[in-house]
Structure 1
Amino acid sequence: MSGNITENIADKILLLISAMQDARTPWYAKALVILLLAYIISPIDIIPDFIPVVGFLDEIILVPIVFAFIYKLIPESVKQEINSKDIDESQRRRLKLIGVVLVLFLWLAIVSVVVMFIKQVFI
C-alpha cells in the first residue's frame, strides 16, 4: 500500500516538474507552484505550529489541496505527453525517495500533533 502512495506522489511530482518546464502550462499554474513551495518553506503559517493539534492542520490539509488544484490546472495534453515519455530511472528513484520522505514527514507531523495534544490534556 505504501509503495503505491509513494509511487503516485513521485509520479505527480515528476509530472509537475516537467509541466513547469513546458510552455503550454499556464503561467498561473507555475505561479501557484512557486507560492506553494514558498509557503512550505516559510516559517510563517496561517495557523502557528505552536498551537496544539490545529497548528499542523494547515500543512496537512492545505498543501495537498493546493497540489491537487495545481495538478488540475495542467492541460491534459501536457499530462499525456509527459506520461508517455520514458522517465530516466535515476530520476524516478530520486522522486520515489522524495515521495517516501513526504509520506514520512506527514506521519511525523501527525504523531507530533497527537503527542502535543496528549501532553496538553494529560500532563
Structure 2
Amino acid sequence: MLKNLKKEIAALYLASKRDDVPWYAKVVILLIVGYALSPIDLIPDFIPVLGYLDDIIILPIGIMFAIRLIPKNIMNECREQSENIFKNGRPKNWIAASIIILIWMIIVTYISINLFSIF
C-alpha cells in the first residue's frame, strides 16, 4: 500500500507539470504533493493517535481528491512515468516545510498570547 501511495504522489507530481491539466487541479496537486514530501508534518507524529492521522487519513483523501480532478488518460500516463521517480530516495519540499513551520509558529504565538492574557 505504501509503495502504491508513493507511486500516486509521483504521478500527481508529474501531472502538475503538464499543460493539459487544469489550473485548479494543479493547485490542489501542489498542495498535496508539497505536504506529502514535506519533511515536517502539520500534526507531529509524536502526538498520540493524532500524529498519524495525516498519514493514514488526510493524505490519502487528498490524493484521491486530486486524482479525481485529472482526466483518466493523463493520470494513467503519469502513473506509467512515475515507476522510477523515487529510486534515489524521497525528494524534499522545503517550501512546504517552511509553510508548516509558519503555521505552527502562528498557532503557538496565538496560544501564548491568549494564555498570558488570562494571567
Scaled by the length of structure 2, what TM-score is found? 0.51
Secondary structure at the counterpart of residue 66 of structure 2: helix
Q: How many equivalent pairs are there?
A: 89
Unpaired runs of at least 5, structure 2: 91-119
* 1:56 is the counterpart of 2:52: yes
The sequence identity of aligned pairs, in percent, is: 34
1:43/1:19 CA distance change after superposition, 3 Å: closer
1:60/1:19 CA distance change after superposition, 3 Å: same
* RMSD, aligned α-carbons: 3.4
Distance in 2 (alpha carbons) for counterparts of 1:15 and 1:35: 14
What residue in structure 1 maps to residue 68 of structure 2? Answer: 72
Cα deviation per residue 1:10-43 (whole Å; 9 max; x = unaligned)? 4323321221111111111211122234545385
Unpaired runs of at least 5, structure 1: 99-123
By relative contact order (CA 8 Å, sep 6+), the higher-ranking structure is 1
* 1:14 is the counterpart of 2:26: no
Within 5 Å, which residues of 2 pair with 1:1-123? 5-40=1-36, 41=38, 45=42, 51-83=47-79, 91=85, 93-94=87-88, 97-98=89-90
Q: Which has the higher helix share?
A: 1
> Which residue type is aligned with residue 72 of structure 1?
R
Query: Aligned-pair distance for 1:78?
Result: 1.0
Cα deviation per residue 1:49-105 (whole Å; 9 max; x = unaligned)? 6643234323421011101111121111212444566x785x4634xx54xxxxxxx
1:52/1:74 CA distance change after superposition, 3 Å: same
> Which residue type is aligned with residue 57 of structure 2?
I
Secondary structure at the counterpart of residue 93 of structure 1: coil
Distance in 2 (alpha carbons) for counterparts of 1:72 and 1:50: 32
